Amino acid sequence: MLVLTRKKDQTIMIGDNIEITVVDIQGDQVRIGINAPKNLSIYRKEVFVEIQQENQKAAQVNNILLKNLLKK
């Protein structure tokens, strides 16, 4: 993991087209702004994990349905 120190209004670049800017700092919370291409999905990690879990559940249900259809 790369750890960087930034102050308010300072930016980090990821590749050529992703900018992460420290927008505000209040106590132990940091607000960040992200400029990235619209085709790039950006999620908080806890939301990303939930999406992955739901996708896995849906895939399991689809596999069960497909197996049942093939048995007929």
Give the Cα separation of 68 and 10 in Å (integer). 56
Domains of the chain, residue spans: 1-40, 41-72
pLDDT tens for each residue of 13-49:
999 999 999 999 999 999 999 999 999 999 999 999 9
Average pLDDT over residues 36-63: 92
Sign of CA dihedral 28, 30, 10, 41: positive
Q: What size, in residues, is the chain?
A: 72
DSSP state of 40: S
Q: For the whole prediction, is pTM greater than 0.95?
A: no
**What pLDDT does 67 receive?**
73
Closest CA to 22 of 13, 34, 14, 10: 10
